[in-house]
A and B are shown apart, each in its own frame.
Chain A
Amino acid sequence: MEFKESRIYRLSRREVVRMMQRPLYMLCMIGAPLFCFIYFTSLMKEGLPQNLPAGVVDDDNTAVTRRILRNLDSFQQTQIVSQYPNFIDARNAMQRGEIYGIYYIPEGTTQKAQRFEQAKVSFYTNAAYLVPASLLYRDMTMMSEYASAGVGREMLLARGYTMDQAMGFLQPIKMDMRAVGNPWLSYSIYLNNTLIPAVIMLMIMLVTAFSVHTELKDGSSKAWMEMAGGNVYVAVAGKLLPQTLVFCLMVCGAQIWLYGYLAFPLNNPIWPMILAGVLLVLASEGFALFICSAIPSLRWALSLSTLWGVLSIPIAGFSFPVMAMPPALKALSYLFPLRYYFLIYVDQALDGLPIHYSSWFYLALLGFALMPLIDLRLLKHAALHYEYTY
């Protein structure tokens, strides 16, 4: 039999017509994902935020302290936007949200440092804004170390040490930090690789649940089943085929956009990621179908899909690692398809490992895709007997 005459083809055509009638579908399947590609990648274009506003209070105001502040200002992440006459003013500015950090140099710092009577500087960050606070903390700590070392270095050089000897004295052990895979420490790479598929996944689950259950709501489900010859597997396959294609296109488009155009780290060929993307689409549809079949109510199916889709984002562990979560949630994280996609991304794109390291994760995604086999029969029953109530 030719494909064009097959039930699946006819069902798919019916589905395309249904989708064309409601702009909602296009908005969710194409509009929302496209918006998220553009939004998230342009939002975090800088990778690592630069020139974060900071304030200083310099009660000492000598050539030495001014040099410290000039140097601090020249750090990539820090920008001194204002100098305040006293600490209270600076703190008020922080409370107004004008600055993320304060560097405070008390009176007599230079004098004490030169007399070797330990001087003390302080710095404060507004840690309610965690990212800028930690970046400023890093710059300010480094600056304070340099300030201390700078005084010592002057002294050593004056005594006839070479620069190497001076550094060997001042900093005997040095750290050499290599951020493997993301040497720029780009937040865009760190978040968008999973955040964008996460949003697409949420949309997949919602659209799947919505398109299946509107049949029940509109009372067209009997016709739908009839068209499939009473075979629920054919009915579902035909129905989901068009949206699967669109979503696969969106996920793969996202990956080509990320790894091709934006040149995010990809240390293997793109195929393992494309495979993961397609499997993520199937897994999300499978999971949503599983929910739909188990709960024959549009609203409850959508609610549960929403819960799962939204919860995926924190529990996938790309922003806050799963290892630091409470044990119960660690266990729960195994039930989220996005978690496996994230692990595949780490192995295949970020670290470029051979594919067998990720084989379990691929299998898990496949498992989610096959989940509806458990309870799809219930959907048929619902399709034939369910009545929507207002």
Chain B
Amino acid sequence: MKKFIGSIFEVALRELKKAFTDVGALVFFFIVPMGYPLLYAYLYSNEVVHEVPVVAVDECRSSLSREFLRKSDATADLKIISYCSDMEEARELIRKHKAYGLIHVPKEFSKEVAAGRQSTVNLYCDMSGMLYYKALLSGCTKVSLSMNKDIKMARLSGRSNAEKENTVQPISYEYVAMANPQNGFCSFIIPAVLIVVIQQTLVLGISMLAGTETERRRRGVIFLSSHYENPMAVLLGKGLCYFLIYAFVSLYVLCLVPLMFDLPQLWQPMDLVLFMVPLLLSCIFFAITVSYFVRDRESCFLLFVFASVPILFMSGISWPSSAIPGFWRGLSYCFPSTFGINGFVRLSGMAASLVDVKREYVCLWIQSGAYFLVSMLIYIRMYRFYDIPGAKYLRDKRAEVRERIRARISV
């Protein structure tokens, strides 16, 4: 038993040394988690799309139509870059990607309003980006709502302003965007990206180390000490090593990066720490499991990098999980990131407590256990297959070398 525990620490120490002397692994364990979140967050640092360039075609040319366009231009969402004389001119600007939307005020616009009929403003949106649509719609809707109110109030004469207002809008409403008050892109996608970065860099780094080991084993140039005799000890030792590294890395990724970019951070420290433990464990043993399929040092790039995108989409953060077909939802439960993202987003964005993310928390522990068992089986199989412990191989080899040296000396 004592030897077993000793082996764990010895393996952990040796693996740490290995990780810190391997530039490839260092890149995955440190440079990528350090740089990538910064770059990604910087990309989205403007959070929302403001001042979307649009063109206006005003066929009405009345004070009312000018008021509408002026107010649209004044919203944060839109910016009218040109008042075109006809639709063709406006379309040409859109074709050339100078503008992404068109506001068309028809000829009868103010006449209809004056006659007490409903009049229409036509909006055309370039659908190359959903956010253009959102900006155009919300900008013009705000303007039309406020102008409608003014028009209606003007029609109700002989009452006090407060009375008018209540008549015009008997039920008012307010909207609160919880967890992400500015409805920003950065606060929405970055927390998810951070968890994916942790999982994927672990997968890539561990696979690279494992691939190197497999490659060397194939070529017979591996040297393992006697501490590598027990697969269980090796697995626990490796787990400990990566856990130690990622305790620091995830501190940076999950606490400092959000701090730098002013992302919501409403977690309780204890809850976050308690949540991180199964998250890291499940990611580590998941990584060790998949690293079995890596046969050499560099193939991890080809096997795992592209998976980050589907994994991010599977988590239910960008595409709502209620709309994910059952099969894919089932598959998403295989990845620690699915639960990690949903848990972390709610802990940090919505001030949820650990109790609120109980489901995710429990699932992460189950994953940790399951992947530990799977990687255990894989290790045992691998040990049998390659007849490791390399120790035995090494002992024979050393004996052989010693034998040879002795032979030479005696000659």
Q: Please, how many angstroms separate the alpha-carbon atoms of A150 and B97 in the complex?
A: 41
- Which listed residue, A92, A202, A351, touches B356 by the CB 8 Å rule? A92
Can you name the residue of chain A whose Cβ is closest to the Cβ of B45?
A: A326
| With known contacts A43-B319, A129-B320, A346–B170 Cβ distance under 8 A | no
What is the total number of residues of chain B having a CB less than 8 Å from a CB of chain A?
A: 117
B181:A127 contact, CB within 8 angstroms: yes
B43 proximal to A (CB < 8 A):
yes
Contact B129 A131 (CB under 8 A): no
Cβ of B113 within 8 Å of any chain A Cβ, yes or no, is: yes
Contact of A317 with B113 in the complex, beta carbons under 8 Å: no
Cross-chain contact A324 with B320 (CB below 8 angstroms) = no
* Cα distance A190–B144 in the bound complex, in angstroms: 27
- Interface residue A75 (Cβ < 8 Å from any Cβ of B): no
Instruction: Note all chain B residues with C-beta closer than 8 A to A321.
Output: 49, 100, 128-129, 131-132
Q: How far, in angstroms, from A307 to B346 measured CA to CA in the complex? A: 29
Q: Which of A28, A35, A116 contacts B167 (CB 8 A)?
A: A116
Bound CA–CA A32/B53 (angstroms): 38
For A220, list chain B residues within 8 Å (CB).
none
Could you say which residues of chain B place their CB within 8 Å of the CB of A92? 356
Interface hit among B2-10, B299-307, B364-372: B299-307
| Contact call B125/A179, Cβ cutoff below 8 A | yes
Beta-carbon contact of A128 and B350 below 8 Å:
yes
B:136-170 near A, CB below 8 Å: 136-137, 140-141, 144-145, 147-148, 151-152, 155, 163, 165-170
Alpha-carbon separation in the docked complex, A180 to B87 (Å): 14
Contact of A306 with B301 at beta-carbon distance under 8 Å, contacts A168-B117, A169-B116, A169-B152 already known:
yes
Given that A168-B117, A178-B122 are known contacts, is A127 also in contact with B175, CB under 8 Å in the complex?
no
Q: Are B302 and A134 in contact (CB under 8 A)?
A: no
> Does A128 lie within 8 Å of B356, measured CB to CB?
no
Contact in complex: A180, B126 (CB < 8 Å): yes
**Are B176 and A122 touching (Cβ within 8 A)?**
yes
Whether, in the assembled complex, B410 has its beta carbon less than 8 Å from a beta carbon of chain A, the answer is: no
Q: CB-defined interface of A348-367 with B at 8 Å, one 1/0 digit per residue?
A: 00110100010000000000
Chain B residues lying within 8 Å of A302, measured Cβ to Cβ, are 298, 301-302
Interface size on A, residues (CB 8 A): 120
Q: Tell yes or no: B335 within 8 A of A by CB.
A: no
**B123 / chain A contacts, CB cutoff of 8 Å:** 175-178
Whether B180 and A128, one on each chain, are in contact in the complex, defined by CB atoms closer than 8 angstroms, is yes
Whether B166 contacts A116 by the Cβ 8 Å rule is yes
Knowing A129-B320, A134-B183, A314-B43 are in contact, say whether A43-B328 is a contact too (CB < 8 A).
yes
Q: How far is the CB of B101 from chain A (nearest CB, A)?
A: 9
Tell which of B169, B183, B316, B350 touches A94, judged by Cβ atoms closer than 8 Å. B350
Please determine whether A390 and B212 come into contact, CB atoms closer than 8 angstroms.
yes
- Complex Cα–Cα for A39 and B306 (A): 13
Whether the Cβ atoms of A113 and B171 lie closer than 8 Å is: yes
B169 and A118 contact, CB distance less than 8 A: yes
- Tell me, in angstroms, the Cα distance from A257 to B310 when the chains sit together: 19
For the A-B complex with A118-B165, A303-B27 known, give 10 more contacts whose Cβ atoms are closer than 8 Å: A40-B313, A52-B323, A168-B117, A175-B140, A175-B141, A190-B127, A202-B305, A299-B297, A321-B128, A323-B100
The 4 closest A-B pairs by CB, nearest first: A127-B180, A49-B323, A144-B173, A128-B179
CB-defined A-B contacts under 8 Å, sample of 6: A127-B180, A130-B188, A177-B123, A177-B137, A182-B127, A357-B96
